Structure 1
């Protein structure tokens, strides 16, 4: 766009970065749904197989249900198969990793929104230090660091998925994404909407100069 109006261009750039982060979190939250359902179904099958495989031989031993020992062994085999499928296809680890990634993106988006609001307040009250070009460069730096952070999160999650895909059985739990997410929080039911932000158009002292080009 035309950087003769830097306030409008910065606002458009912020909205573009924010919508991209929301779309990323939404994708991970949507992708985790079928994995969570599949993992719970397989875990339920595992629990049922273990219980039935333990109870049926006991009933056969006591004579309550004669000839049920064979079905008990079959139930144990089915329970082990359900557990193996869960670990091989990585359903449990996959939906947990997706949830951790979505929470990490949401947490970093909240930090971005507070940082951007701080810059908006600073420009509304009047720049206290530096020139207008430095203020624009500061805003661009906030957006650039956030974009790089989100890209690194997605790259890390993709690398973990590739390791699981190549190795076969998926390791349980997540790695560095859990530390970046809000640990111990309840699973969100859906993606929160856009947080309220101060109107960028109301910044009378936003820079009117073209921001300096980054060194190549």
Structure 2
């Protein structure tokens, strides 16, 4: 079936995984304690803290306890929705202050722009929050490219290794799953997308796997629609 939409992962797919792990995560960890303490009265931060209290099962946890929990989740690379939302707020400051720009592989931006011009609908599905996704693409190495995308999805839709998440995305964009191509560097995510009926391609930028159930490419240049 012909592809009408492309759903892409970010980390390791459009963006060097080291940008996330060596720039964004350390920046959030460094600034998180001061940011939380300085913004305790902000409604968005209050909601995030309430979500974190629920996550750790301590409805009366104070700010210091929650800060420790957030830092622990960062250290363990946990995909906790409250953490992702808080990181997005902190990264917004960093992007706006020019502390860094969002890394994009040259082949990724070239082909995303080309596919958009050809009429393909482009969507993003990442474990990072929608806010963080829009910041990365809004303050990218290539400038603001958020206009290329028709929608963004994060863990509020579901986990990336679960079939139901991809079924929900297909419903949200009102297309048969078979007309959607999902791009990722993680086999288990692609397995879930394929189980939902999507077409799939594995981005293996550094080390090509010995075998895969999915088409394998080393860059966007090799993707056949």
Q: Same fold (TM over 0.5)?
A: no
More helix by share: 1
TM-score (norm. length: structure 1)? 0.22
More strand by share: 2
Higher relative CO (CA 8 A, sep ≥ 6), structure 1 or 2?
A: 1
